[in-house]
A = this chain, B = another copy of it.
Amino acid sequence: MTERIIKVGIVGGTGYTGVELLRLLVQHPRCELRAITSRKEAGMPVADMFPNLRGRIDLRFSEPAAAGLDKCDVVFFATPNGVAMQEARVLVDAGVKVIDLAADFRIRDVAVWEQYYKMKHACPELVAEAVYALPEINRAEISKARVIANPGCYPTAVQLGFLPLIEAGCVDAAHLIADAKSGVSGAGRKAETHILHAEASDNFKAYGVGGHRHQPEIVQGLTRVAKGPVGLVFVPHLTPMIRGIHATLYARLTQSIDLQALYEKRYANEAFVDVLPAGSHPETRSVRGANICRIAVHQPQGGDTVVVLSVIDNLVKGAAGQAVQNMNILFGLAEDTGLTQVALLP
């Protein structure tokens, strides 16, 4: 691998995944940030919107057309759903790698996607080509991709938590339960009443119990590695914290197995998955700002239900960090390049 510098563009850098990408990329030793686009904020210095970046980034938000994205090596889409599918084709044709942090290329069944995302897909043929990029499952495939579908935050925590069980075929995969809790940044940087501090602080609630967009994404991912049909009840909750996802996973064991050994072996060579000692309870703050998933596995009272606790920072391993990890794979860098931040605790 040469010491080539990767030229990076970001489309839509005004949300939380955008600022988190910026935080990681300005500390990445092999990247040069060429452009950050925002139609609405074109002309504004990025550091005026995100003062944590003062002194670290001189770029201004630019008009997409004038950004020269086709001269980049890779373009990240940190946009709302439905944007990347409009713009990826041109970039791919120009030889630019595309990493979409939104959902446009995550669901292979376009009809399902259109049902859950309530819009017509603009680019089904790239869906077929795109790689759903959870490195712990398919990094070889990722390394050759042109279009990367970066997994959702809940799907990352839930899939990494269930994966060893499903691969081992030791649970009733048709009746999985994922009780997931997310910090409020997971809802994005949108001016909506229900995520105001005065509404969401000192409060806890479930939402989307009837059907959440991440449910089919998780089922699709687990189905690929399962030995039979996968069924999932997925209940997300809003938690009064800024960052962090805690997924509590339940499955019925169909055979006796050393769960601790199963997990430790599965993730022994994974830099970004940390299996805690038996009896542990991972905390979301232990991954705050860091690109890592920490997991503990329990079998309460020695019964037939396995309980998995899986935590990530939704903006890092659940979004921007995983996107950089995928970029590193795409460009043949060590997978942890620029991703060695230690979680902020307390």
Contacts and interface: CB of A to CB of B under 8 A. Distances in A.
Interface of A: 16, 19, 23, 26-27, 50-56, 175, 177, 179, 181, 183-185, 187, 189-193, 195-207, 209-211, 231, 233-235, 237, 239-244, 246, 248, 250, 252, 274, 276, 279, 281-290, 294, 298, 300-301, 303, 305, 307, 309, 311, 315, 340-346
A174 to B, nearest CB: 10
B283 A51 contact: yes
Contacts of A343: 52
A52 B203 contact: no
Contacts of A315: 346
A342 B250 CA distance: 36
Contacts of A287: 52
Identical subunits present: 4
Contact of A250 (B52, B183, B250, B279): B250
Contact of A207 (B23, B185, B281): B281
Contacts of A52: 285-288, 290, 342-345
B242 A197 contact: yes
Nearest to A285: B203
Given A23-B342, A189-B196, A191-B192, 6 more contacts: A23-B344, A52-B288, A184-B197, A201-B202, A204-B311, A250-B250
B248 A179 contact: yes
25 contacts: A51-B294, A51-B345, A56-B342, A177-B250, A177-B305, A181-B237, A181-B239, A183-B204, A185-B198, A187-B198, A195-B198, A202-B288, A203-B284, A204-B244, A204-B311, A205-B281, A205-B284, A205-B311, A210-B301, A211-B300, A233-B300, A233-B301, A237-B246, A242-B346, A289-B289
